[in-house]
Structure 1
Amino acid sequence: MPASPAPLTVLDRETWSAREAAHHARVDAIADPHLERRRRGEKHPVEDFLWVYYRWRPAEVRRWHPGIGGALADAGERATWKEHRPLTPAEREAAGWTGRAGAAVPVTVDVAAFMTRRGQAVERWHGILQATANRPARFGCFGLHEWAMVHGLEADDRRHGGVPLRLGREATDAVTESHTIACSHFDAYRFFTDSSRDLNTLRPGPENRTAFEQPGCLHATMDLYKVAATLGPLVPGELLVDCLELARDVRELDMRASPYDLRDWGYEPVRIETPEGKAAYVAAQRGFSERGQALRARLVQVTSRALSQG
């Protein structure tokens, strides 16, 4: 017989309101500049990625949750939220909650309802997270996926056509062609140009992601934010923003090491075409991998608990 779920932790309104306010401040620090640029009709080749590629709106990311295992007192308004519910009498007793007369029953995420709708996604991400965490990190890619994405293209055909290449097209193509490319991330590989696709020694795809994903990959690390956002109310808000902040930091390295000249935006290049640039890239990549592994372990705790209850 499976073990009974651990008692829910009920947070009083003062406690959870403070955590919610801190969450809002962290999200706003990242999202507000993007929203202001959008109001002005301006694009940013580095920071827009978090809100365009990953497609979760700032308002969605701003919504704080205590995560699976948490419940909120004096939050009756949340009982009407999608996939939320009030605690049962047995749960209230197990949690030791005794509210004042007429107080709203604490609210928690309805794990069963969430798993009915998203259980397959939770199971899939659980498998990817565990496989990635248990695989040795590789640090020899040097960010060449971004170079492969512009190989052979004129400016009008590049994703960031308004941003010049540091070395010009011919020299950029020469750098790409002179390296061994071993991109393990399918969502980066699928953006390789036709002329660069066969330069990659691997063939990652969505169907074999569990077999290829590895913790040294910048895009696998950025995608921890995607996992956290996909898990929605199961994930504590603090973990979600930890993943968002890591994705922001990784994206900066990703683009500084790219062939684009971003000095007009305040980014000094990591010149991966040189030995010094390669060393700098790998050092930063190792640090991000360590941060990512810690967050990956926390996400596995969430998916494990959801799967045990769903």
Structure 2
Amino acid sequence: MQVLTEEKWHQQSRELKKRIDNLLKNYFSNRSKSTKHPVIDFLFEYYSFRFSELKSWSPGIGVILTGDSASDLLKNHLYKKHNDGVTLDISKISPQRKNTISWIIDLLQQTKERSPYLGCLGLHEWAMVYGQQKTRHNLPLRMSPQQIMNFVENSRIRCTHYDAFRFFTKPAKPLNELNPTKQTRRDFEQPGCLHANMDLYKWAHKFYPWIASDIIADAFELAWRIREVDMRASPYDMSVMGYEPICIETPEGRQQYTHLQRQFFTEAQPLREKLIVAYQNIQQMLT
């Protein structure tokens, strides 16, 4: 068990709130004006983790918080008294969730151990508008619907991520070389995939507060930057919002996308390992 002094854990709590507030202050200002944001809205709507939870500090499992103010945490039923202070109560994790923990560890480990595939070029976003007149985002397209269809049909589509593939339009699905399903996602996910690396945020917050807030915040920031690239490489034109397009229909754009994809792969792997260790710690304490 790690022990944090009152001064130390209060400092960490303040730093987290400041970090998240600084990241999102402009977003909430614009949101109050009913301005939709296809990058940040996605992080809250698709991943369904509330802003209040994102900035609510948690030490994670196996940490004892000391000092008089630690007793205030006992108002939250997920904390309990310890001889040396207050700690999260591992018994509050229901037995039914143990299988979920094993599943997540297995998914993260298998993904981490695979070689990255860096040739997808973000075509999943193109396959999501293929053959459609109405798009998912209220944004103009950089090409006509027919040009998008021609580009998709003349490109190699090899999407490995189930949650991206399931949003392909019906006529686009047969164009994918693979057929990942909810049941087989562990057999397909690989660490070069932008969506698999964005999903580290999902796996981090899924067992909040037993996963430490610093890991969740790191995963949130990474998911934010990946989502920006995801949308910049899409057929949508977000230049009016200040996002320069990554034109994957050109050799220069493909090179730029692959370079960024490799950077995200390199950055995500240590974070994936941190999550594996955190979940293994939870698993060990549950046995």
**Fold conserved (TM > 0.5)?**
yes
Structure 1: which amino acid aligns with 2:66? Answer: A
Matches for 1:63-74 after TM superposition, within 5 Å: 63-74=56-67
Residue 279 of structure 2: aligned partner: 303
Structure 2: which amino acid aligns with 1:139? Answer: L
Structure-2 separation of matches of 1:115 and 1:274: 51
Matched-pair contact (CA < 8 Å) for 1:83–1:114: no
Matched, 1:280 2:275: no
Matched-pair contact (CA < 8 Å) for 1:24–1:62: yes
Runs of 4+ in structure 1 over 4 Å off: none
Matches for 1:103-252 after TM superposition, within 5 Å: 106-116=85-95, 118-154=97-133, 157-160=134-137, 162-252=138-228
Q: Gaps spanning 5+ residues in structure 2: where?
A: none
RMSD: 1.3
Structure 1: which amino acid aligns with 2:122? Answer: G
Matched-pair contact (CA < 8 Å) for 1:146–1:258: yes
* Count of aligned pairs between the two proteins: 284
SS across alignment from 1:54: coil
Structure 2: which amino acid aligns with 1:122? Answer: I
Q: How many angstroms does 1:273 deviate by? A: 0.8
After the TM superposition, which of the residue ranges 73-82 and 116-125 deviates more from structure 2? Answer: 116-125
Per-residue deviation, residues 18-69 of structure 1 (Å, max 9, x unmatched): 1111111111123333322332222112221111111111001111111122
SS across alignment from 2:38: coil
Matched-pair contact (CA < 8 Å) for 1:34–1:48: no
Residue 82 of structure 1: aligned partner: 77
Q: Which has the larger radius of gyration?
A: 1
Q: How many angstroms does 1:77 deviate by? A: 1.4
Structure-2 separation of matches of 1:112 and 1:300: 20
Structure-1 separation of matches of 2:9 and 2:208: 17
Matched-pair contact (CA < 8 Å) for 1:225–1:240: yes
Structure 1: which amino acid aligns with 2:211? Answer: V
Q: Gaps spanning 5+ residues in structure 1: where?
A: 1-7, 93-105
Structure-1 separation of matches of 2:149 and 2:59: 48
SS across alignment from 1:107: strand
Percent of aligned pairs sharing the same letter: 39
TM-score for the superposition, normalised by structure 2: 0.95
Q: How many angstroms does 1:112 deviate by? A: 2.8
